[in-house]
Amino acid sequence: NAGVTQTPKFQVLKTGQSMTLQCAQDMNHEYMSWYRQDPGMGLRLIHYSVGAGITDQGEVPNGYNVSRSTTEDFPLRLLSAAPSQTSVYFCASSTGQGSWKLFFGSGTQLSVL
Amino acid sequence: AQSVTQLGSHVSVSEGALVLLRCNYSSSVPPYLFWYVQYPNQGLQLLLKYTSAATLVKGINGFEAEFKKSETSFHLTKPSAHMSDAAEYFCAVSPYNTDKLIFGTGTRLQVFP
């Protein structure tokens, strides 16, 4: 029972570097999303996807790109990392269509120096 | 736009005492409301959800929440706290028939022996 798998668990970047956070789910879920969690700010939605080939912006999309070429994978790309992107990132998935039960990965802790 | 406000970033109770975590919502249409729990170093898990059926919703681990339209509230309660309830709790709201959840800032619950 893999569920939602995020890699890496920890990452340190220098300002200006780019990288991709990986997210994969094996539950055949249509809906996938990325959140960032910051102290005192809860979870904020970055991008989401309601199915392969369809993505949309959330509350805080600037500085991030996503694509959804398959049902299983939903990578998050940081184009040019900034210290403000230091955060814990969570990927989540659900069956979609108003099921509302999100399954979360275990998170990626990212530090940008 | 829909949003939720969680009153109190930290709540401390003694083991066996009542747990009350507060959440107020803002929505121009009947909301769908949720409580999620995050244990240390883990992703979030769904505790319970309100989707316009019964106003008193029972969830896992003995938690329940009551939807009160007149007070725009959806407070989470548990009659008797257990040490294992120590975690961070997030209230969330969703636009109708989507899985796009907007989370509050979270309340950290501490339980003392």
Cβ B92 vs Cβ B33: under 8 Å: yes
Q: Which residues of A touch B99 (CB under 8 A)?
A: 31, 33, 94, 96-100, 102
**How far is A18 from A54, CA to CA, in rounded Å?**
23
CA quadruple B4, B7, B13, B16: dihedral sign: negative
- Could you tell me where the beta strands, DSSP code E, fall in chain A? 4-7, 10-13, 19-25, 31-38, 42-51, 54-57, 64-66, 76-78, 87-94, 103-104, 108-112
Residue of chain B minimizing CA distance to A90:
B43
Q: Which residues of A touch B4 (CB under 8 A)?
A: none
Write out pLDDT tens, residues B52-111. Answer: 778 899 999 999 999 998 899 999 999 999 999 999 999 999 876 677 888 999 999 999
- At B100 the pLDDT is 82
pLDDT band at A1 (very low <50, low <70, confident <90, very high): low
Write out pLDDT tens, residues B89-103. Answer: 999 998 766 778 889
Contacts with B, A 82-101, CB within 8 Å = 90, 92, 94, 96-101
